[in-house]
Amino acid sequence: MNDMHLQTITQITTPKKAAYTLLNRVIAAPSTGSNTPSLNDSIPFEKDEDIFDENQPDFMMEQAHTALMDEMKILQDKNNSLTERIAEFETEAIQLRQHISKVDHQNGQLNEILDRERADLASRAESSEKQVIELQKQLLESQEEARMNKEEARDYNVMMTSNEKQLVDLKKEHKFTKEENEKNLNTLETKLVQLAAELDNITKNLETTLETKESLQEEVDTLQVEKIFKDSLISELEETLRNEKSKVSDLLRENQTLLHESQQERSTMSDQLREEERQNEANNQTISNLQRELQNLEQTANTQQKQLTQNTEVINDYLDKIKDLKTSLFEKNFTLETEQEKTKSLEESVQSLVSEIRNVKSQVLNLEEEKKKMEEDHQSELSNVNEQVDCLTKNFNELEEEHRKVQKSKTDLEKQFETLKDEKEALNTLIKENKEVYENEVTDLKQQVVVAEKRLIDKESESEEVFGKLIEELTSKMIELRHFYYHLNTENRLKENNSDLCQSIKELQESKEEKNRENEELKNKLKAIESLSEGFRNQKQCLEYEMQNKRDTLDKLSVESMVKEEQIRGLESDYERMKEESANIKAENEMLQLRFNEIDKEMSEVNERNRALLEENAKLVGHQNLKQKIHYTAKLKDENNFLREQLSKHQQEIMKLKSGTPTKKENRTPLKQWNEKPWEETEESL
């Protein structure tokens, strides 16, 4: 462009022809050179030279017009690109508004789902409480029935013992007693073997329980470590929330300061535009500053939106944790129902064991020494089991305390969730207000840019007009100088006029160069803006990649928390199993103690029978006379008659009881055996 301007100036100042043969001089500069001619040299003219009568050629004016039109087209292209960018920014703002509305809608749906789940939990809790009350009533009724059955069993046992004593007194033959004793010994030996096997099984079970206890303790330690790690993570998340809140407050303050600064700058810019309308540099600088501020404000808006998305993700994680806790509560209620069913099964097993105890009454001898050893072993085992149960109860209490802490943290999280909702609503309102302010500022800036462009176009048109006027003035001055030359023929005046012309031409060149510099500065500014936009895009991509990494880490943490909760549930189930096993072991120990007590009673009864038989044998050995034997037989007959009368009375009472009470197989069997025994055996023995 500089070359074109120089060529136009040289063509204006030089004639069409390549060379002129004038008197006393030669033309200074060629018409096609790139350098400027030396206009300071003095050019003497002759009369009738006809140089200044020549008009400017048309192609020079056309070239100047084409150059100016090209510059105008370049500026229009730049303005179009800027308008397209502004439209893109507006579309991005609309998309952000749509995204915010979607997030609000999703939050509303989540709140509705939470309300429904709370209502369902309340209804389930009420139904479970009603079921527990009904089951407690059933337990009380079953316990009362068991007490009644035990009392009836005791009454029947008393009757049976009295009848058995009377029958044993009638039995006199020592051989029969010996055979029965031998049979009892054999059966007791078999029972002892069975009891030893049962003891071995119990010891094995205890060893397995100890091993399981150790493994459970190890798992509890690991879970405690994991719990500490989770607590640290929760504290870190809380710190991040606090930091984010502080950042949001700082950003709001920065936004307010930026708004004040932008307002001040707008006022200053308006004053500068009024005062310096003719200076294009100040206008361009203000436009570039405002564009940068727009970009900064848009960046702050993007950062705030990203922080909002992060807050929503954190809230969703807390909601997932709340759902997991609710599922754990539901599972605990289910375990309570299963335990109640197990209690019913245990009551049935107790009844079956009672029937077995009644069958084992007639099978114990010579077990006192072994009984002591067994009691010591059982006491040691019971102490170990009690210690285990105490440890497990402590662990269970700790777990309950942790559960309470979790519930407290749940309430705190709900409160934090409500506060976050309020803060989110406030932020949304602030963002909307800021967006409206920003949109208004963008529209103002667009209007200012349009006004500046119009002013530039007006100034360029004015410069063209001034340039044409200057050319006309120069031509008129040249004509005037020619007239002065013809009239006065003075070289001094011509030199002065030439110096003025040179100065005016230099001023024009300097003005053109300044305009070119301004155009170059505008181009550099546009390039810098494009580089900044590319840098912001790269930063945006990096931030998106970091967000994806954080989401992946959050998903991994949620999966690990679910696995750990399942492990805790497994430990709770193992703890309940250990409780049930300890209860079963206690019940078995009580049954064994009852068996040993019954064996002691039966041993004492057998010893009394043996003593009575020995006394009777001694008496029979002393019966040498027939009279003594007759008296003894008469006494026995009288006693037998007396016993028969008592037996008949007892049978009548038993029949009355049968007619009034419900019959059971366990209670009928000994009476039937008593009735079915022939009385002839007693008479033969006598």
pLDDT value for 601:
80
Q: Is there a domain that residue 498 lies in?
A: yes
User: Amino acid identity, residue 677?
Assistant: K
* 326-365 residues labelled b (16+ CB within 10 A) or e (exposed): eebeeeeeeeeeeeeeeeeeeeeeeeeebeeebeeeebbe
Q: Is residue 174 part of a domain?
A: no
Please report whether residue 303 resides in a domain: yes
Any domain includes 370: yes
Cα dist. 240→236, 245, 312, 315, 413 in Å?
6, 8, 14, 13, 15
Reported as half-sphere exposure (CB side, CA atoms, 13 A), residue 372 has a value of 3
pLDDT category at 605 given cuts 50, 70, 90 is confident
pLDDT in the model for residue 25: 44
Scan for tokens 């609000």, then name that residue: 104
Rounded to whole angstroms, the Cα distance separating 58 from 8 reads 11
What is the domain count for the chain? 1
Tokens of 51: 């140089």
Q: Which among 559, 115, 558 has a CA at the least distance from the CA of 313?
A: 558
Distance, in Å, from the CA atom of 231 to the CA atom of 225, rounded to the nearest integer, reads 10
Is the residue at 136 inside a domain? Answer: no
SS3 sequence of 607-621: HHHHHHHHHHHHHHH
**Segment 519-578, tens digit of pLDDT:** 677 667 667 766 766 766 676 677 667 767 767 776 777 677 677 677 777 777 776 777
Q: What pLDDT, on a 0 to 100 scale, did the predictor assign at position 26?
A: 44
| pLDDT interval class at 297 (50, 70, 90) | low
- pLDDT tens sequence across 340-394: 566 566 556 556 655 655 555 555 555 556 656 666 765 666 566 566 656 656 6
List pLDDT tens digits, range 484-524.
555 555 556 555 655 666 676 677 667 667 766 776 776 67
**Residue 483 CA, distance from chain mean position:** 98
Other Cβ atoms less than 10 A from the Cβ of 290: the count is 20
Let me know if residue 180 belongs to a domain.
no
HSE-CB at 250 with a 13 A cutoff on CA atoms is 8
Which has the higher per-residue pLDDT, 671 or 413?
A: 413
- Residues 270-293 have pLDDT tens digits of 666 667 666 656 555 655 665 666
Structural domain that includes position 302 = 199-603
CB 12 within 8 A of CB 60: yes
Confidence at 648, pLDDT banded by 50, 70, 90: confident
How far is the first Cα of the chain from the last one, in angstroms, to the nearest whole number? 156
More confident residue, 242 or 459: 242
Checking if the pLDDT of 146 tops 60, the result is yes
Model confidence pLDDT, tens digit, residues 118-143: 788 888 878 878 887 887 788 888 77
